[in-house]
């Protein structure tokens, strides 16, 4: 063995010539390491593969002309982009490579931006400057931001687009959920445009809770809100039996009686009268008042029917005391001046009927197993401590407890949070999306003493909320403002004077938008005074007719007095006018019968309006748009004409297609529509 080694040594380094030669070879080899490393580098391998791929294709010549070897880079210092992704992703701009199965070489799916506009990492994250697969895509010790999983990709859009976009349904949904679930009662979220995401869940004040419900109900509710109403947005705090006992004790103890106090029920609604009262009358009044536009209720078949503006009413009889229900139905302002619920002007009989109907909607099982003894002072004291510790006053008004400031961490930059500032637990993926999704899914898994409660989200909702949170990045905050598309903020518009007071009492803005303030459940009324005729508006407020037969949400009847109706109609006709044109600028007297006839032809043949609208209840059936049989009594001709010419100019976002009519066509159609003067749907159906 030894001899052999010795012989080998002699062969290569035996004399000076041999030694010199061998040393040179070794040196040469050492010098070759760097170029060889380069030569065998991963990206070269990809470029070779790419060339191999394109050479086999029909448009090889074009593709080869586009190909550039070596390290490629998109560099945009002001946007902090240094992306070398295109070194390997060589086919991103090649439309003919849309069918390639390898993601590395495929055309980038169509998006509204050029790839060179924002680079890659702006949306996808990852390490742009890296040139190996591992470093570019995965988290490393120096680089914490791995590639964003595809399901959260809309977070990329949300960094600049603070308003809703058609192409980002999950981001939109996530932002909506953050508002609707009230996340921002506790967490501050300041967006890059300086606006705040505001909570939109309207949690009730608890200052007079004892007038409204019982301690048993409160106990059962805080144990499991969704057991009472599957649609409830209040999260679950996982209180122990003892803690729930003490919290309910305190909540009831802090309650003060309403002023003026509730009246005892007008009639003995509870027992005998309920049976005596006509059960159908309640159902009918509930239906006629369109309570279901805002409130959901489970029907006999177990289906949830109704809107989600107000709370679900399936078990309202178990929750609310009869005297409170009666007071609330008569005038909700008494108990809660800030409620979104309108003040229907029900007469005493109607109040009794509706109260009886709602009292009969019970869920006795919900409180059946609650057996609480009278509360001791210690329990109340302990309950108060729990209420403070859990930040209940972040959402609810509670006597003697101030709304805590910054109760939970601010989330304005959660999408860039360094991982070393986060505490992970088992079962949660060690990435930022993993952490955020884990927190949204099951916050208490991160430690039993943590305060964040458990929300009821479906897996898809968790992904949506996570998407919206991941959009809140450092990049979003530090970008030049010109790149930002600001969020749409509501104005503070309020109608003025007597009419304004009336409109607030009726909560018109809960459903209608006026001057950029209000709900989106019913038509925008900003220009209603230009659109409609005074006489029609008066009639409509007196007896809201059905304009859209296929709609379940409708304008309720508020039982207004004539004087109230006049106040409203006068105000709307005077104030809600467009500056663009005069409502009287197209007198109907101009139209001759020939023009009406021509309009009729256009309506039924060229434009086939009857596929969506009803002009004549006997022949037409279309019900995507409102019925037009009463247009001549409802609208002003100038409005109809302008609408036909460009519907989106009068109501942005309306789905009525712009038919690109000539002036003559629009005029004839207006003549025809203004000649339609039959009554509303119900009237027509009766005929």
Residues forming contacts to another protein in the complex (CB under 8 A) are: 98-99, 101, 103, 109-112, 149-151, 153, 166-167, 169-170, 305, 459-460, 463, 550, 552, 605-608, 611-612, 621-624, 648, 655-660
Rounded Cα distance, 152 and 161, in Å: 15
Q: Look at residue 399 and give the partner it binds from another protein, ligand HEC, none, a contact being a CB closer than 5 to 8 Å depending on partner kind.
A: none
Q: Which is nearer to ligand HEC, 256 or 611 (CB)?
A: 611
Longest dimension (CA), the chain: 124
Rounded Cα distance, 413 and 30, in Å: 48
Q: What letter does residue 298 receive in the DSSP assignment?
A: E
CA 571, 575, 577 angle in degrees (round to 5)?
A: 130
Q: Which is nearer to another protein, 101 or 142 (CB)?
A: 101
Cross-strand pairs, 89: none
Rounded Cα distance, 30 and 26, in Å: 6
Task: Give the chain's radius of gyration (CA, Å).
Answer: 34
- Minimum distance from residue 455 beta carbon to another protein (Å): 18
Here the tokens at position 636 are: 């002003």
C-beta separation of 75 from 81 below 8 A: yes
Q: What letter does residue 635 receive in the DSSP assignment?
A: B
Q: Which is nearer to another protein, 263 or 658 (CB)?
A: 658
- Minimum distance from residue 612 beta carbon to ligand HEC (Å): 5
Q: Look at residue 496 and give the partner it binds from ligand HEC, another protein, none, a contact being a CB closer than 5 to 8 Å depending on partner kind.
A: none
Cross-strand pairs, 517: 514
Rounded Cα distance, 18 and 23, in Å: 9
Say what the alpha-carbon torsion angle 438, 439, 441, 443 is, to the nearest 10 degrees.
120
Q: Which is nearer to ligand HEC, 406 or 658 (CB)?
A: 658
Here the tokens at position 596 are: 């009406």
Rounded Cα distance, 216 and 414, in Å: 39
Q: Which is nearer to ligand HEC, 348 or 624 (CB)?
A: 624
- Minimum distance from residue 657 beta carbon to another protein (Å): 4
Q: Look at residue 17 and give the partner it binds from ligand HEC, another protein, none, a contact being a CB closer than 5 to 8 Å depending on partner kind.
A: none
Q: Look at residue 459 and give the partner it binds from ligand HEC, another protein, none, a contact being a CB closer than 5 to 8 Å depending on partner kind.
A: another protein
C-beta separation of 390 from 186 below 8 A: no
Q: What letter does residue 431 receive in the DSSP assignment?
A: S
- Minimum distance from residue 685 beta carbon to ligand HEC (Å): 23
Q: Look at residue 150 and give the partner it binds from another protein, ligand HEC, none, a contact being a CB closer than 5 to 8 Å depending on partner kind.
A: another protein
Q: Which is nearer to ligand HEC, 386 or 614 (CB)?
A: 614
Closest CA to 669 of 573, 572, 586: 586
CA distances from 324 to 125, 348, 358, 589 (A): 55, 15, 11, 56
- Minimum distance from residue 627 beta carbon to ligand HEC (Å): 15
Tell me which residue has its CB nearest to ligand HEC: 611
CA distances from 38 to 41, 84, 412 (A): 5, 16, 42
Q: Which is nearer to ligand HEC, 76 or 612 (CB)?
A: 612
Rounded Cα distance, 637 and 650, in Å: 14
- Minimum distance from residue 606 beta carbon to ligand HEC (Å): 14
Q: Which is nearer to another protein, 317 or 626 (CB)?
A: 626
Q: Which is nearer to another protein, 106 or 190 (CB)?
A: 106
Q: Look at residue 305 and give the partner it binds from another protein, ligand HEC, none, a contact being a CB closer than 5 to 8 Å depending on partner kind.
A: another protein
Q: Look at residue 587 and give the partner it binds from another protein, ligand HEC, none, a contact being a CB closer than 5 to 8 Å depending on partner kind.
A: none
Q: Which is nearer to ligand HEC, 443 or 622 (CB)?
A: 622
C-beta separation of 572 from 537 below 8 A: yes
Q: Look at residue 280 and give the partner it binds from ligand HEC, another protein, none, a contact being a CB closer than 5 to 8 Å depending on partner kind.
A: none
- Minimum distance from residue 624 beta carbon to ligand HEC (Å): 6
Residue 22 phi/psi, 5° resolution? -60, -45
C-beta separation of 107 from 93 below 8 A: yes
Rounded Cα distance, 478 and 416, in Å: 12
Q: Look at residue 151 and give the partner it binds from ligand HEC, another protein, none, a contact being a CB closer than 5 to 8 Å depending on partner kind.
A: another protein
- Minimum distance from residue 265 beta carbon to ligand HEC (Å): 51
- Minimum distance from residue 622 beta carbon to ligand HEC (Å): 7
- Minimum distance from residue 281 beta carbon to another protein (Å): 24
Identify the residue whose tokens are 């006795």: 364
Interacting residues with ligand HEC (CB under 6 A)? 611-612
Q: Look at residue 83 and give the partner it binds from ligand HEC, another protein, none, a contact being a CB closer than 5 to 8 Å depending on partner kind.
A: none
CA 601, 607, 609 angle in degrees (round to 5)?
A: 90
Closest CA to 530 of 679, 666, 678, 651: 651
- Minimum distance from residue 284 beta carbon to ligand HEC (Å): 34
Sign, CA dihedral 399-405-407-413, equals positive
Rounded Cα distance, 41 and 319, in Å: 70
Q: Which is nearer to another protein, 53 or 392 (CB)?
A: 53
111 three-class SS: coil
- Minimum distance from residue 165 beta carbon to another protein (Å): 9
Q: Which is nearer to ligand HEC, 392 or 609 (CB)?
A: 609
- Minimum distance from residue 610 beta carbon to another protein (Å): 8
Q: Look at residue 463 and give the partner it binds from another protein, ligand HEC, none, a contact being a CB closer than 5 to 8 Å depending on partner kind.
A: another protein
Q: Which is nearer to ligand HEC, 281 or 612 (CB)?
A: 612
- Minimum distance from residue 611 beta carbon to ligand HEC (Å): 4
- Minimum distance from residue 233 beta carbon to another protein (Å): 20
- Minimum distance from residue 659 beta carbon to ligand HEC (Å): 12
Q: Which is nearer to another protein, 169 or 592 (CB)?
A: 169
Q: What letter does residue 297 receive in the DSSP assignment?
A: E
Q: Which is nearer to ligand HEC, 279 or 625 (CB)?
A: 625
Q: Look at residue 550 and give the partner it binds from another protein, ligand HEC, none, a contact being a CB closer than 5 to 8 Å depending on partner kind.
A: another protein
Q: Which is nearer to another protein, 28 or 150 (CB)?
A: 150
C-beta separation of 524 from 513 below 8 A: yes
Phi-psi region of 335 (alpha: psi -120 to 50; beta: other; left: phi over 0): alpha
Rounded Cα distance, 335 and 177, in Å: 28
Rounded Cα distance, 33 and 48, in Å: 21
Write out the DSSP string of 545-560: --S-TT-S--PPP---
């Amino acid at each position: 063995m030894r001899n052999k080694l010795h012989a080998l040594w002699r062969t290569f380094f035996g004399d000076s010539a041999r030694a010199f030669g061998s040393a040179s070879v070794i040196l040469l080899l050492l010098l070759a390491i760097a170029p060889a490393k380069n030569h065998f580098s991963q990206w070269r391998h990809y470029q070779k593969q790419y060339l191999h791929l394109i050479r086999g294709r029909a448009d090889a010549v074009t593709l080869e002309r586009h190909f550039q070897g070596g390290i490629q880079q998109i560099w945009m210092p002001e946007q902090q982009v240094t992306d070398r992704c295109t070194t390997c992703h060589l086919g991103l701009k090649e439309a003919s490579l849309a069918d390639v199965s390898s993601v590395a070489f495929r055309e980038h799916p169509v998006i509204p931006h050029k790839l060179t506009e924002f680079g890659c990492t702006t949306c996808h994250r990852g390490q742009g400057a890296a040139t190996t697969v591992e470093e570019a895509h995965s988290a490393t010790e120096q680089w914490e931001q791995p590639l964003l999983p595809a399901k959260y990709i809309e977070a990329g859009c949300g960094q600049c687009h603070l308003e809703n976009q058609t192409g980002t349904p999950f981001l939109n949904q996530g932002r909506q959920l953050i508002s609707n679930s009230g996340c921002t009662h506790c967490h501050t979220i300041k967006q890059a445009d300086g606006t705040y995401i505001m909570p939109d869940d309207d949690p009730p004040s608890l200052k007079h809770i004892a007038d409204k419900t019982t301690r048993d109900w409160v106990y059962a509710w805080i144990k499991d809100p969704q057991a009472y109403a599957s649609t409830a947005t209040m999260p679950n705090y996982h209180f122990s039996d003892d803690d729930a006992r003490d919290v309910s004790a305190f909540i009831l103890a802090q309650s003060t009686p309403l002023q003026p106090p509730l009246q005892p029920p007008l009639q003995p609604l509870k027992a005998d009268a309920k049976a005596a009262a006509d059960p159908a009358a309640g159902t009918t009044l509930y239906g006629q008042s369109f309570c279901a536009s805002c409130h959901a209720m489970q029907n006999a078949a177990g289906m949830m029917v109704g809107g989600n503006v107000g709370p679900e009413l399936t078990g309202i009889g178990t929750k609310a005391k009869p005297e409170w229900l009666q007071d609330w139905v008569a005038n909700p302002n008494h108990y809660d001046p800030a409620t979104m619920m309108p003040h229907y002007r029900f007469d005493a009989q109607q109040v009794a009927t509706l109260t009886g109907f709602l009292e009969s909607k019970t869920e006795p099982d919900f409180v059946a197993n609650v057996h609480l003894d009278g509360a001791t002072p210690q329990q109340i004291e302990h309950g108060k401590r729990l209420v403070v510790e859990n930040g209940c006053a972040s959402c609810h008004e509670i006597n003697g407890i101030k709304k805590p400031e910054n109760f939970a961490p601010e989330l304005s930059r959660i999408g860039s949070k360094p991982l070393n500032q986060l505490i992970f637990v088992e079962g949660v993926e060690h990435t930022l999306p993993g952490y955020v999704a884990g927190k949204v899914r099951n916050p208490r898994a991160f430690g039993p003493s943590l305060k964040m409660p458990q929300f009821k989200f479906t897996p898809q909702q968790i992904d949506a909320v996570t998407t919206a949170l991941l959009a809140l990045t450092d990049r979003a905050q530090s970008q030049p403002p010109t790149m930002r598309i600001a969020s749409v903020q509501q104005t503070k518009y309020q109608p003025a004077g007597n009419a304004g007071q009336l409109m607030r009492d009726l909560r018109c803005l809960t459903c209608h938008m006026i001057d950029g303030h209000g709900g989106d459940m019913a038509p925008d009324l900003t220009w209603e005074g230009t659109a409609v005729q005074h006489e029609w508006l008066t009639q409509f407020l007196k007896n809201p007719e059905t304009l859209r037969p296929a709609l379940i949400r409708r304008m309720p009847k508020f039982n207004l007095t004539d004087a109230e109706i006049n106040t409203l109609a006068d105000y709307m006709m005077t104030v809600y006018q467009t500056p663009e044109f005069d409502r009287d600028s197209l007198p109907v007297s101009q139209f001759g019968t020939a023009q009406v006839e021509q309009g009729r032809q256009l309506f039924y043949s060229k434009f086939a309006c009857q596929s969506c609208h009803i002009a004549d209840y006997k022949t037409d059936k279309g019900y995507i748009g409102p019925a037009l049989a009463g247009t001549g009594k409802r609208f002003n001709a100038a409005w109809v004409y302008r609408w036909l010419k460009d519907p989106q100019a009068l109501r942005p976002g309306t789905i009525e297609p712009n038919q690109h009519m000539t002036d003559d066509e629009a005029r004839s159609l207006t003549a025809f529509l203004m000649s339609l003067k039959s009554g509303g749907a119900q009237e027509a159906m009766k005929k």
